[in-house]
Amino acid sequence: MTDRPRTRSGAFARAEERGRHLAVTILSGPDMLTGEAFAHRLGLTVSDLRDLEQAHAVLVLPESSPREARYPAWQIDATGQPFPVLPALFDTLGDSGWTIYRFLMQSHPELAGQTALEALRDGRDALVVRLAHSLAEGTFA
């Protein structure tokens, strides 16, 4: 009986380490921009970018320090601006950038196997927001 807690603890520690490794891999990808690079791409100052961040109008993936945070370049739509549904996704799914990232990158049966990001690129914003609400409520879309 005393072995179980140690085994469970070891399993959690290994899972946390895998999660940290995956986060580092994601954050070091070529589509992940620093705040300065992302602000420049949007034609903004870093201060303006921080304001968008506070309003949940951009997706930022935090690391261990704010200086290491990354902004996915793919969140910029065809108009050169971040997807306009991002604030609604944060309102629905919570304040975690990683939660929004996972929602956008996962394939969803409700989207015929597409990712939410692919659906946004196809202009199906309302469907993506409905799916987020459905998932948040624990219902089916």
* DSSP per-residue string spanning 78-100: TTSSB-TTHHHHHHHH-S-HHHH
pLDDT tens profile 75-94:
999 899 999 999 999 999 99
pLDDT tens profile 90-111:
999 999 999 999 999 999 999 9
Q: Which pair of structure tokens corresponds to residue 31?
A: 């589509």
CB 54 within 8 A of CB 46: no
pLDDT tens profile 51-66:
999 999 999 998 765 5
Q: What is the pTM of this model?
A: 0.84
